[in-house]
Amino acid sequence: MKKKIVRTATLCFVAVALIILGLTAYTYFSIKDYLSPQTVFVVVLVGVVVTFAIGIAIFGVSAFAIAMQKDEQEQVEEKKMAQIVYGSEVAKELKDEMKMKIAKREDEGKRIPTLCVILVGNNPASVSYVTGKEKACKEVGLGSKMIHLDEETTQEKLLSVIKECNEDKSIDGILVQLPLPKHLNEKEVVWAIDPNKDVDGLHPINVGKLHLGEKGFVPCTPQGIIELLKRMNVELSGKRAVVIGRSNLVGNPVARLLMNENATVTICHSKTENIQTICKEADILVVAIGKAKYVTKDFVKEGAYVIDVGVNRNDEGKLVGDVDFDDVVDHVTAITPVPKGVGPMTITMLLKNTIEACENSEV
Ligand SMILES: Nc1nc(=O)c2c([nH]1)NC[C@@H]1CN(c3ccc(C(=O)N[C@@H](CCC(=O)O)C(=O)O)cc3)C=[N+]21
């Protein structure tokens, strides 16, 4: 493209220069016998100057055209480049908005929304997530309360702690960090949380509401995923969405949310036959299976949108997704990375739900 412009400009310039120089020469020979040498000199000078001026103008315009046009190679590459959607950046924007909202509440003399996180035991991953949640609360000015119970805590003790939190008017949201130690009954624990404080959206009342299309608390990761898809400007209505994974925390609720957006949804799981073929039909692929780098380019349709929900630790303790990012990145329109993708959105939605719980309690 650049070369073509330069060539055309040079040709134009040569043609115009030849015409003007020819005219000047013709004028020179026609008038040199009638006029004084000074006048003839001026005529020739004007001819040469005009030629130069036009030359400079032509090359100026060409340089401008080159600057405006991207190199052909660059354009091809741009078309192929996948959009990498950083949840961490979206989360920051949303947190700034929440921060302002909370500051405004404070000015109005209203209560500061407060999240209570209950952690049982010392599972390193859980401790790290809980710390992240506390940090995020501080960042936006939410109140946070942490209840750390030891590994041997009994079911009765845990249930009584939840009951206290349910009754405590200064607590708006309750989150019990999962998984719980094996001797505890997770279902009974989650079902004991007041549905109006269930900011994780796991209580059957909230699960039921989601599946009936009623307003209630929606689990944080699925909510964050929909938010990211909206940022990718992907039209969900009428599209094929495939979710890999059927957990209550991610797979099931995200499938329902995608259906609410009028996508046609398929859920795949460990027993699914021909899983690659099904995934390859997906315009939107959400991967929450919990196997590091499980999804390779053989699963991904050219130009698809891929959401990686995986949080796996490799041998070096580094966080890796369920998608083999490097393998698929050239095949997709947009993809979320791990870390800095879905994870930060999950925490942000938890903050959002906590503010919502507080607002609900005021009306
Ligand atoms: N009741 C309950 N609710 C949950 O929402 C819940 C849970 N239990 N148990 C565990 C999973 C996992 N989870 C994550 C949250 C944030 C990041 C996150 O922020 N990750 C960062 C990096 C964090 C790091 O490097 O350790 C990132 O992806 O960039 C990841 C994972 C919430 N979970």
pLDDT at 64 over 70: yes
Q: What's the confidence (pLDDT) of residue 77? A: 55
Q: Are 31 and 43 in contact, with CB atoms under 8 Å apart?
A: yes
pLDDT at 73 over 80: no
**Cα(118)–Cα(139) distance, rounded to whole angstroms?**
20
**Cα(121)–Cα(181) distance, rounded to whole angstroms?**
7
Nearest Cα residue to 351 out of 143, 164, 110, 180: 143
Three-state DSSP at 91 gives helix
Does the C-beta of 216 come closer than 6 Å to ligand 1? no
Q: How far is the CA of 343 from the centre of ligand 1 (A)?
A: 5
DSSP string of 27-82? Answer: HHHHHTTTS-HHHHHHHHHHHHHHHHHHHHHHHHHHHHHHHHSPPHHHHHHHHHPP
Q: How far is the CA of 253 from the centre of ligand 1 (A)?
A: 17
Q: What's the confidence (pLDDT) of residue 78? A: 56
Across 131-142, b (16+ Cβ under 10 Å) vs e yields eebbebbebbbb
Q: What's the confidence (pLDDT) of residue 162? A: 98
Q: Which positions are annotated as active-site residues? A: 133, 177, 200
Q: What's the confidence (pLDDT) of residue 96? A: 97
Does the C-beta of 218 come closer than 6 Å to ligand 1? no
Q: How many CA atoms lie within 13 A of 114 on its CB side?
A: 14
Average pLDDT for residues 338-359, to the nearest whole number? Answer: 98
**Mutation probe of ligand 1 site: the residue of 287, 318, 338, 346 with most atoms within 8 A of C-beta:** 346
Q: What's the confidence (pLDDT) of residue 295? A: 98
How many residues are present in the chain? Answer: 363
> Which residues are paired to 146 by β-bridges?
117
Under the banding of pLDDT at 50, 70 and 90, the label for residue 195 is very high
Pick the residue whose CA is nearest to atom 22 on ligand 1: 339
Nearest Cα residue to 251 out of 310, 294, 321, 336: 310
**Cα(286)–Cα(250) distance, rounded to whole angstroms?**
10
The identity of residue 333, as a single letter, is T
The pLDDT tens digits of the residues spanning 200-227 come to 999 999 999 999 999 999 999 999 999 9
Atom number in ligand 1 closest to CA 175:
1
Question: Which residues participate in the annotated binding site?
Answer: 245-247, 311
Does the C-beta of 343 come closer than 6 Å to ligand 1? yes
The residue behind tokens 């009306």 is 363
DSSP string of 117-177? Answer: EEEES--HHHHHHHHHHHHHHHHHT-EEEEEEE-TT--HHHHHHHHHHHHH-TT--EEEE-
The pLDDT tens digits of the residues spanning 123-177 come to 999 999 999 999 999 999 999 999 999 999 999 999 999 999 999 999 999 999 9
The ipTM assigned to this model is 0.92
User: Quick one: CA dihedral 241, 219, 86, 125, positive or negative?
Assistant: negative
Does the C-beta of 132 come closer than 6 Å to ligand 1? yes
Phi, psi of 2 (to 5 degrees): -60, -50
Pick the residue whose CA is nearest to atom 9 on ligand 1: 178
Average pLDDT for residues 35-63, to the nearest whole number? Answer: 77
Three-state DSSP at 87 gives helix
Burial of 149 (0-12, 13-18, 19+ CB in 10 A): middle
Q: What's the confidence (pLDDT) of residue 56? A: 78
> Which residues are paired to 117 by β-bridges?
146, 175
Distance set, CA 350 to CA 221, 248, 355 (Å)? 9, 16, 9
Atom number in ligand 1 closest to CA 344:
19
Q: How far is the CA of 31 from the centre of ligand 1 (A)?
A: 90
Q: Are 312 and 321 in contact, with CB atoms under 8 Å apart?
A: yes
Does the C-beta of 175 come closer than 6 Å to ligand 1? yes
Under the banding of pLDDT at 50, 70 and 90, the label for residue 37 is confident
Does the C-beta of 295 come closer than 6 Å to ligand 1? no
